[in-house]
A and B are shown apart, each in its own frame.
Chain A
Amino acid sequence: MALQDVCGLHNPPLFPQWTAPLSRSFMPEDSTHLSGGGIHGEAFSTRLPGRGGLSPLEFYMPIAEYLTESPINFGQTSLSSALTKLLEIDHLYPSLPSISLPPPTPCPISPSVPLPFTLSHGTTTLGFAFQGGVIAAADTRSSCSGLVACPASPKVLPIHSHLVGTTSGTSADCALWKRILSRELRLYQLRHRRRLSTGGAAKLLSHMLHPFKGTELCVAATLCGWDGDEEKHEQPFTEKHANTPTNQMTASDSSGQSAAIVRSRSRICGPRVIYVCSDGLRLQGELFSVGSGSPYAYSILDSSVYWGMSVQEATAVAREAVYRATYRDAYSGNNVDLYHVTAKGWRRRERENLKEEYYREKERERKRRVIAY
């Protein structure tokens, strides 16, 4: 199962033959790691066959030499199983120098290497669900302690056809973990012939980020998606799945039969918004706003968002919320990105430059003053 593979909860077999040749030929940067890296690189690459020949993102953790290995496999690194594997490898590869293994210690809590630069932070993102789907909106300013590193960075990233995620925190962390999440969701979809629900995706992301709790990784994402029920048609190809939710939704409106099927599977279809944070928080709700500009966005959203609103209203409210946040928050600004997720998938609204909006607002204010006098 994909979730188990990712979390390393079952012990994979050590040398399945079909993946053995692949495992050696990746990550030449193993050889450039500091002392002990070569050995650990060896040990790590022989552990790979169990993962089905994947080449995961290998993290180099700058930790003291006595810490035996640092294979970060996107999920739980059960250090005890890793250690036993190392011991087994020692028997099979007597040429490797034997390492005396201390009891497993957790990953370092504080970064041991002080960075000479700052990473990008500061944003306003929001996501909310209503009767017409889910709206995800964000500003586009990427700041780096005072300098605008990028005025046009995309902060709402589509993960798959029916799921988008807003990103807040360090932009590199968010971009890479979204990529990893898309990959894992796609693998799940291929293995299980259905899309993973938003809740499942949130859980997966949360579990993948858990080993990095306490490090300086900073990801605060709002996953906004539409869960569809595709079991009824049992079609093997995922392209057709994109169409079935629409049929399902209209069918369930008209007949009670598909609704019964939905209930019997105890899976709820429809829009979902879930907030996932790298410190381990995972919350489901109807409305979230994340980032330095979120207090300003919340004030607009809390007063105007209600379940029965129309798509135009929802779009206008989201845009206004981001605009007000950029107005007051120094670290948010530039443009607004808006995504609307429905049963048919996500649709992206044209990126709007808020500079024009400031001038329009000034014009409105001027007209109001003229009328007042």
Chain B
Amino acid sequence: MMISAQAYGGNGKVKEYHYTGPVEHKFSPYAFNGGTVLAVAGEDFALVASDTRLSEGYSIHSRDSPKCYKLTDTTVIGCSGFHGDCLTLTKIIEARLKMYKHSNNKSMTSGAIAAMLSTILYGRRFFPYYVYNIIGGLDEEGRGAVYSFDPVGSYQRDTYKAGGSASAMLQPLLDNQIGFKNMENVEQLPLSQEKAVQLVKDVFISAAERDVYTGDALKICIITKEGVREEIVPLRKD
């Protein structure tokens, strides 16, 4: 339901509890459905994790709506923002993947999917998809790759990235724990898969504590050369 966008303020979060001033009611084609997505790239693996809560305003629509979508055996995309646009976007990406597979007789690589998504998003520069995407997968050499996007298609390859409602809380924590930023005299060990999974679980538990749009359950997709494995971890339901 996308009514009364004005009352919801800039990014969909409700402005004030006892707002008494004039409100302009206008139809907005966007809604904010919450959710957080996170992706981490390791030496030979990649993780894409998302919570499974679908909310709008003060309500929770669903507790079981994960935001990771498997695209190929080596790529998973996490989309958060407006759920309607997430669904359409993933539908379009899957169709384009099939077209590519049929005309080129091979699956798209992670880098190619990222570049394609950039042009798909930019094609809607003047009526954007309200989706924050993060692609996680393995590149052609088998190393982990994470590509993070903004809603209009600007992207780059990262080692880790958090997107969605709790991204501002999670990103600094990842900078510190994975990027070793602002730490002096620290031994920078490469991230193992077990440590990464544990870190992601801890990070989401923290996010669920402080962000109202994140919670219910956590779904982690672990991408290795064997394929994509899923893990589900419960989170706070309040």
Contact = CB atoms under 8 A, between A and B. Distances in A.
Given A28-B96, A147-B168, A61 B28 contact: no
Contact of B120 (A29, A115, A120, A149): A29
Interface string A208-231: 000000011100000000000000
B125 interface: yes
A216 B126 CA distance: 8
Contact of B150 (A60, A114, A149): A149
B45 interface: no
Contact of B123 (A25, A60, A116): A60
Residue of A120, A153, A173, A175 with highest tally of chain B CB at under 10 A: A175
A173 B128 CA distance: 12
Contacts of B134: none
Chain B contact patch, size range: 35 or more
Given A25-B99, A116-B32, A175 B126 contact: no
Given A28-B96, A115-B128, A117-B130, A171 B150 contact: yes
B126 A62 contact: yes
Nearest to A63: B126
B118 interface: yes
A58 interface: yes
A170 interface: yes
B154 A120 contact: yes
Interface string A307-318: 000000000000
A202 to B, nearest CB: 22
B150 A153 contact: no
Contacts of B32: 116
A113 B28 CA distance: 8
A175 B88 contact: no
Contacts of A175: 118, 153-155
Contacts of B5: 114, 116
Interface in B125-152: 125-128, 130, 148, 150-152
Nearest to A32: B88
Nearest to A108: B126
A170 B126 contact: no
A2 interface: no
A59 interface: yes
A57 interface: yes
Contacts of A62: 126-127
A176 B153 contact: yes
Contact of B126 (A61, A116, A176): A61
A151 to B, nearest CB: 8
B11 A117 contact: yes
Contacts of B130: 115-117
Contacts of A114: 5, 28
A59 B153 CA distance: 13
Contact of B10 (A61, A116, A119, A154): A116
A38 interface: no
A172 B152 contact: yes
Contact of B156 (A60, A153, A170): A153
Contact of A32 (B28, B92, B150): B92
A111 interface: yes
A210 B153 CA distance: 21
Interface size class on chain A is 35 or more
Contact of B92 (A28, A152, A174): A28
B69 interface: no
Interface in A177-195: none
A101 to B, nearest CB: 22
A59 B125 contact: yes
Contacts of B121: 172
Interface in A254-288: none
B30 interface: yes
B12 interface: yes
A111 B126 contact: yes
B29 A176 contact: no
A96 interface: no
B28 A172 contact: no
Contacts of A153: 156
Contact of B119 (A57, A150, A154, A174): A57
Contacts of B3: none
A116 B2 CA distance: 12
Interface of A: 25, 27-29, 32, 57-62, 111, 113-117, 119-120, 142, 144, 147, 149-150, 152-154, 170-176, 215-217
Interface of B: 5, 10-12, 28-30, 32, 88, 92, 95-96, 99, 118-128, 130, 148, 150-156, 158, 168
- A-B CB proximity, top 3 nearest: A172-B154, A172-B152, A62-B127
